[in-house]
Amino acid sequence: QRVTQPEKLLSVFKGAPVELKCNYSYSGSPELFWYVQYSRQRLQLLLRHISRESIKGFTADLNKGETSFHLKKPFAQEEDSAMYYCALCPQGGSEKLVFGKGTKLTVNP
């Protein structure tokens, strides 16, 4: 079980599209999540793949063939600046979350 976020830092300009990459390795069918940590706030769930929701303009599609769960937003806002963590929960619900090392997103004005 491993989650890889290849970019430690990502910087974009306001209004530009943003994509935070996440790849995972797991032999079963995991649940995938994106968590976000804004400055001086607690880590919180942004979205989960089973919900298929768009939260704050972000979407993430689970690609089982490529074992990826990239987070995307068409037009970045300054308030999106934060640390983003991709996480995996193994099939069977053992409640243990495996996190990637995180990507720090900075949206410049």
Rounded (5°) CA angle 55-101-19: 40
Strands 44-48 and 59-63, bridge-based pairing: unpaired
- Chain positions 28 to 67 lying near other proteins, rule: CB under 8 A, are 31, 33, 35, 42-45, 48
- Chain positions 80 to 109 lying near other proteins, rule: CB under 8 A, are 85, 89, 93-102
Least separation in angstroms between CB 89 and other proteins: 4
Burial 64-88 (b: 16+ CB within 10 A, else e): eeebbbbbebeebeeebbbebbbbb
Least separation in angstroms between CB 107 and other proteins: 20
Q: Is 12 in the site for other proteins (CB under 8 A)?
A: no
